[in-house]
Amino acid sequence: MRRILLALALLLPLAAMASDNDTDKVNGDVHVTAGQHVGKASSVNGDVDVADHAVVEKASTVNGEVKLGQQAQAGEVDTVNGDIEMAAGARVQGKVEAVNGAIHLARGAEVDGHLSNVNGTITLEDAHAAAGIETVAGDITIGANSRVEGGILVDKPNNGWFHSGSTRKPVIVIGPHAVVQGTLEFRREVVLKVSDSAQIGPVKGTTVEKFSGATP
């Protein structure tokens, strides 16, 4: 997660070097209209909204949400304080990262790179994460028919920075007919609930609680 903080330190000087095809703001929301193709869409204090079928090289903010509309595409997505929402069929070719914020992938959404946050829920609804999922204090729901390659990692809090959420056990749910390939590794106490119709890889650091039906 330290690479996220390093990227934050570089964000402001890079904003001054934006190309003509970039859309950058310090204060205020950034909107990429439907079908538009741009380079970087970024803000410091504001949301970044990429509309349906639009394409951006990178969507990022510090204090705000990032939203990708239906069938929208991005090279990578990140925020520090805010949620990340990917609508049906949206795709990110690289990483998706948040620090304090939830990440939600709607039906058919895809992330080809690493998917991670520190604090906040991560939810896949019949979606695909191709290079692993990581959190520290957030709950993870791999919804029905979702697919994850690269496993799941729940890391331990680092040097007390995230102590406020460190005593609560994250809840990890693997839904019906979901597939998680790779190791499910837990470096802190968690609750792991797995559907009896799901397929998962090796589990390290906790025991599996099986459930039947749509939800635990």
Backbone CA torsion sign across 7, 30, 85, 112 = negative
For the stretch 21-45, pLDDT in tens is 777 778 899 999 999 999 999 999 9
Nearest to 145 by CA among 174, 115, 176: 176
User: The tokens of 159 are what?
Assistant: 């040097």
On the question of pLDDT at 158 being above 90, the answer is no
pTM of the model: 0.86
Specify the DSSP element, H or E, that contains 4: helix 2-15
On the question of pLDDT at 99 being above 80, the answer is yes
What's the rounded mean pLDDT across residues 53-71? Answer: 97
Task: Catalogue the long-range contacts made by 49-53 (C-beta closer than 8 Å, 24 or more residues apart).
Answer: 50/74, 52/87
Q: How far is CA 125 from CA 21, 51, 105, 132, 157, in A?
A: 33, 20, 6, 16, 27
Q: What are phi and psi of 4, to 5 degrees?
A: -65, -45
User: Residue 163: its pLDDT value, please?
Assistant: 47
User: Residue 195: its pLDDT value, please?
Assistant: 98
